[in-house]
Structure 1
């Protein structure tokens, strides 16, 4: 449910400007393209993203919690809104300039997510490693972008990648969010012994013996009288006195007949965290390019669409992991505006940057619909009903 008061969080606007001039350029507020609440941290900025990112270092360095980038993939293909065919060296140089600034903009617990395909994936990782440090590389996510077979190439390319970096991985790993438990996950919890504490699932009661103490090697006698010793090279997870306590408390499962290898009962009611994010993101969970196109067609039935938009569910997954309500999200290649639309619905502050006129025809128009309670994408899953606002700026060098 959208909460206008929590959207502001009693914090000043991140840009704290209506019109601002700096030696790097001038940022002009365009009221006719702004919409909704005037007191808002949300904004779209039209102009060259390199110049704008440089400008933003004077205002929000160290304040951005998540940056999502969907740059041209440099794969030689011609798309509706741009021609994606830059020389490799020039492409790497251009993206590296922007990554250097983005690292400065990120908070100490912030993260960077970059969509890319095979054309430049490995070169991009090497470039990003140099800027963020290999120790701050988090993972490569595989996104299933399509579920149908493509027959016009040597291989059907059904996936893309998302490179994930942290400003400080050691910190980010501690603060990143888990994902909500799915029905598939909760269905693993059963209650075959009718335990009054509710559903549970069992996990192994033995661990590798590399750092074991002598107290972790002993024989367990099951309720049926069968004896159990830890497998070779392993030991029991508890010392004997603790294991006796756990058995007495009905926290150890020996199977329905009491003869099974002892396993520890973990109760659903005790689980405080959700699911650790995986690196394979299936279409059924985060959507496909086709889903995104259908959504855009519902929004803009008479306006030309982008060829490779990202579904709202994909961006929502990123923001669930990397941000909390009130955090600032930045997208420097805004495209059709998905990142800002999702950020708005999820009560995150946002800055979207795009150089083309579609920042007005697509992005601003899309956000107007979001403010008015647009019903597509992730709307139903988060009970979005509308509200808030955004400002539109034009940057002049």
Structure 2
């Protein structure tokens, strides 16, 4: 791992653990709501399609978690070395608890951060921001007061509402996070948009229905897939206006996994992502029956417990060896390079985020020095889109832009780009 990458990851981890900026005292604005019949019947063995009723996205609770005037949010962003040139308003942020379905289609709840500008227009466009890889549930945007909130504060301070889902099993949501299960992350993201729509109505700031989708790392892939879901009519109230993912692993088979073996992914990040992916995906696909089939001793006895949502990234890395090759059995190390069976199914199931034809404009942001998610992922996505007649430029953030650096440079650029879109004729307030 290069020094710049190591320093970047260390800085990000240290910053994520900082707390103490101006947080509004917890105040429950909307209490729990009685469960609908579909929820009450969740465990009766009904097929998953019975869990897709109109209650999905219903708002269970809304709790204010932060409030900054314009000067304060400018300072907050500047402390994280973000370009603050787009800041025009203060922001107020809320933790939303809402109804959704889990990876099996069963009713559950999830949380997310909903952020509004304190000034600006009465009716607002909505940015969807989907976050990057997080192992500890308290790093999620609605709980952790740090880099996970940067896009929310940037875009809200520029005049738009922002919905940032925590995903399943992170934040205050129950269960464990199905890491890199794109389908369930998209479901949770669509339902977060619905919850944001209800919250905006209650707060007297109705939404226009225009959605601007962005996301970083894992969230870049989710943003692409969310864009397709919206274009395909996942919710008639929302219209995709622009799509700007950052450094997403769009091509696991053709780019990300080969990069584990050819040195384009640094050892620490490759180890972390691989272990997290295998443990989480094994809950959804029968990759292994016993951890010892995949992981070497002594790691086989501890690796699953490390990804329980309570450990920090530092704890996980300390509990594992230095490289993927030292973590995996020789047989499984070779299988990762040429996957078959359930492993191949898990990988290929997350490889279609760019296999569609967006009607909205798309920009792909990436960094040439990224050794977590190499820039080849963005180029592969652009090629898939080009094959369908869509031009999606890859905006390289520079030869010195590593993974975190690509986020730090891209986030303000995305905010500026979204700000260039006029709202156009409005439909009735949502």
In which range does the TM-score fall when normalised by the shorter chain? under 0.3
Q: Computing the radius of gyration over CA atoms, which structure comes out larger, 1 or 2?
A: 1
So what's the TM-score if we normalise by structure 2? 0.26
Structure ranking higher in strand proportion: 1
Higher-RCO chain (CA-CA 8 Å, sequence separation at least 6) = 1
Structure ranking higher in helix proportion: 2
